[in-house]
A and B are shown apart, each in its own frame.
Chain A
Amino acid sequence: MTFNADPVPVFCVLLAVACIFAGCTGTAPPRETDTIPADDFRGWNLTVNGTTRASYTFDEIRAFPTKAGNCYAVSTVGIKYGPYTCKGVLLTDLLEQSGGIAEGDQVWVSAPDGYLWVFDYDQTQGEGFITFNESLREIPSPPLQVLLMYEQDGKPLSYDDGGPVRLVIISEEEGIVTEGSAWVKWVDTIEVKRK
């Protein structure tokens, strides 16, 4: 039996197959990050050391009142990260449980990778940060708050994005960019240094 294939559909099918095998499916390349499952944070604890010392599990952090906002960071060389919708617990709410914070105090936030950043009192209240628009032009700062984020864009914060908890600066407004040096990833210790 002779099979007389109609050349047009055969050509089209071959073309489609070639496209798929050549990588034309549009699948994004695998990211170098994304290595640790977002929910594998069972051994993690956050220590908050103020007038009193407290230690929280991930579930206990999530039991605090939640706060959500917009967050958007930029690195020292202008690489933007975001915009994201960020959800977590306010730094001030956590500090309140350990004796609060007063004018002149500082808050030292650190992570197991050896990174440390220091916030003065004004900054813990959302003041004194430099803010930019999306074109990285400096703009007057709208009201800001400091958040321990555990959910980003509606999903649990992955390890590679700084999970289980990352310190971020949030705004009610969209498109507000803040300096990324304060966005401490993998936060596990918060210390209040009294004046």
Chain B
Amino acid sequence: MTCPCRAGMLIAFLLLALLCSTAGCSTGEQHQKTVLKVVPAGSLLQPFAEVEQEFEATHPQVDVQIEGHGSIQAIRQVTDLHRNVDVVAVADASLIPDLMFRTDQATGANFTDSYTPFARNAMVIAYTNRSRYADEISQDNWYGILTRRGVRTGFSNPMLDAAGYRTVMVALLASDYYRNATIFPALIGRRFTPPLVINATNGVQTVGLPETMRPSDPDLVIRDGSIYVISLLEAGGIDYAFEYRSVAEGHNLLWIDLPQEIDLSSPAYAAEYGRARVTLGFQRFSAIGKDRHGQPIVYAITIPNTAPNPDLAREFADLVIEKAKTGGKGWPAPLA
């Protein structure tokens, strides 16, 4: 026979064990895992979630932690904020040599010495089947639709998001491509007070943006990040959005492909893209200037020299590069 006090003790300890297993033991498991900190551009969050799942399945002792930022801010996590980051991936490959091939005063070495381009993207016009004139829009008339009265268009803030200043470049290039000088002013320029001015010199068009990106026309909407623009599009708050093709696809949106001459997708048109330039309203980061010039959209990945887990980081980067070769829904296009 079991004495009542022993039975009580047994129950108490079993409860304690249960409490441990539900409240604390999961934390204990985390303690044993190696954290791999990955900082990608926002437009890579969906495909990187897929890579994270696959990587963790083959590396059960690794906890991949993904933290999205704008591309410049992603690099700043390493260069200015000195955080322990294993992998950085950006939506503009040129940013890595510009901002990371520099000496880290703390170590005496460069922040990184190499990077790998792994994917491309293109700017598109995203919309839904509820967008006004959704049944009419095409590659030939999109700019006319977007400037119709009552049609609301959105893009992300060029101060914060590469997709934002790339949108301005697309509008500049469209004026040239369609031989219609009213396209840029009608899409963007005249929707600010005072209107944005294009400075054309030697075939290069440069537009200077204001310090605060607040259009005076309520039919043009600018938000800090693409996710808010897409959220508005999905909710019917806007009709069209300038987006990366992979992002439009990843969110199951409809989209219009733009001609390669203006969509920033093709190395064959790099010289043409370079004739569209944007000067941001202010220098948000002391490490990088205000001028952006058009170039093909190329994604790149790097492992900072201060990465706490360089071998795992290399494995993760290799998996990204390998998966990018075939792409998939929500992935930017393969390089080749």
A interface residues (Cβ-Cβ under 8 A, vs B)? 6, 8-9, 11-13, 15-16, 19, 22-29, 32, 75-79, 106, 108, 113-120, 123, 128, 130, 132, 136-138, 179-181
Pick from B28, B70, B160, B212: contact of A123, CB below 8 A. B212
With A114-B286, A115-B285: A24-B21 Cβ-Cβ less than 8 Å: yes
Contact at A8–B20, with CB atoms within 8 Å? no
B27 touches A120 (CB 8 A): no
Collect the chain A residues with CB atoms within 8 Å of residue B73's CB.
76
Q: Tell me the bound Cα distance from A128 to B216 in angstroms.
A: 11
User: A35's closest neighbor in chain B, by CB?
Assistant: B82
Q: Is B45 an interface residue (CB 8 A)?
A: yes
CA distance A32 to B127 in the complex (A): 41
Assess whether B4 is interfacial by the CB under 8 Å rule: no
B16 CB within 8 Å of chain A: yes
Q: Which of A8, A22, A118 contacts B28 (CB 8 A)?
A: A22
Q: Could you say which residues of chain A place their CB within 8 Å of the CB of B67?
A: 79
| Contact indicator A23/B25 (Cβ below 8 Å) | yes
Closest to A20 in B: B20
Contact yes or no, B20 A24, CB < 8 A: yes
A136 vs chain B, min Cβ distance (A): 7
A128-B16 CB under 8 A given contacts A26-B27, A28-B27, A114-B80: no
What residues of B have a CB within 8 angstroms of the CB of A24 in the complex?
A: 20-21, 23-25, 27-28
In the assembled complex, which residues on chain B have CB atoms less than 8 Å from the CB atom of A181? Answer: 157, 159-160, 224
**Cα–Cα distance between A15 and B70 once the two chains are bound (Å):** 48
B284 contacts A117, C-beta separation under 8 Å:
yes
Assembly CA distance A25 to B23 (angstroms): 8
What are 17 residue pairs bridging A and B, where the CB atoms are less than 8 Å apart in the complex? Answer: A12-B16, A16-B17, A19-B24, A23-B27, A23-B31, A24-B24, A29-B31, A32-B83, A76-B225, A108-B282, A118-B212, A123-B212, A130-B223, A136-B228, A136-B231, A138-B232, A181-B224
Q: Tell me the B266-295 residues at the A interface (CB within 8 Å).
A: 281-287
- Stretch from B5-13, B111-119, B171-179 contacting the other chain: B5-13
Question: Given A12-B9, A24-B24, A28-B27: A116 and B212 within 8 A (CB)?
Answer: no
Give Cα distance in the complex from A65 to B84, angstroms: 39
The listed residue (B27, B81, B285) touching A29 by CB distance below 8 A is B27
**Could you tell me the distance in whole angstroms from the C-beta of B34 to the nearest C-beta in chain A?**
12
Instruction: Identify the B interface with A (CB < 8 A).
Output: 6, 9-10, 12-14, 16-17, 20-21, 23-25, 27-32, 42, 45, 67-70, 73, 80-81, 83-84, 156-157, 159-161, 211-212, 214, 223-225, 227-228, 231-232, 235, 237, 281-287
Kindly state the separation between the CA atoms of A156 and B223 in the bound complex, as whole angstroms.
Answer: 32
Q: Which residues of A contact B20 (CB under 8 A)?
A: 16, 19, 24
Q: Among B13, B21, B29, B211, point to the contact of A12 (Cβ < 8 A).
A: B13
Give the docked Cα–Cα distance between A52 and B133 (Å).
Answer: 54
In contact, A26 and B69 (Cβ under 8 angstroms): no
* Given known A32-B83, A76-B225, contact A12–B25 (CB-CB < 8 A): no
A106 with B212, Cβ < 8 A, contacts A6-B6, A75-B69, A77-B45 known:
yes
On whether the beta carbons of B6 and A9 are closer than 8 Å, the reply is yes
By a CB distance below 8 angstroms, the chain A residues around B84 are 32
Bound-state Cα–Cα, A128 to B222, Å: 12
Query: What is the CB-to-nearest-CB distance from A115 to chain B, in angstroms, rounded to a whole number?
Result: 6
Q: In the complex, are the beta carbons of B25 and A19 less than 8 A apart?
A: yes
Q: A114-B285, A179-B223 are in contact. List 10 more A-B contacts (CB 8 A).
A: A9-B6, A12-B9, A15-B13, A23-B29, A24-B24, A76-B160, A113-B80, A113-B81, A123-B212, A138-B231
Residues B237 and A77 in contact, CB atoms below 8 Å apart: no
CB within 8 A of B284: which of A6, A116, A132? A116
Name the B residues within 8 Å of A8 (CB-CB). Answer: 6, 9-10
Decide if B282 touches A138 in the complex (CB within 8 Å).
no
Which of the listed residues A15, A79, A114 has the most CB atoms from chain B within 10 Å of its own CB?
Answer: A114
- What are the residues of chain A within 8 A of B12 when measuring CB–CB? 12
A138 and B237 contact, CB distance less than 8 A = yes
Q: Which 4 A-B pairs have the closest CB atoms?
A: A23-B28, A114-B286, A12-B13, A76-B225
Give the complex CA separation of A137 and B214 in angstroms. Answer: 19
In the assembled complex, the CB of A97 is this many whole angstroms from the nearest CB of chain B, namely 23
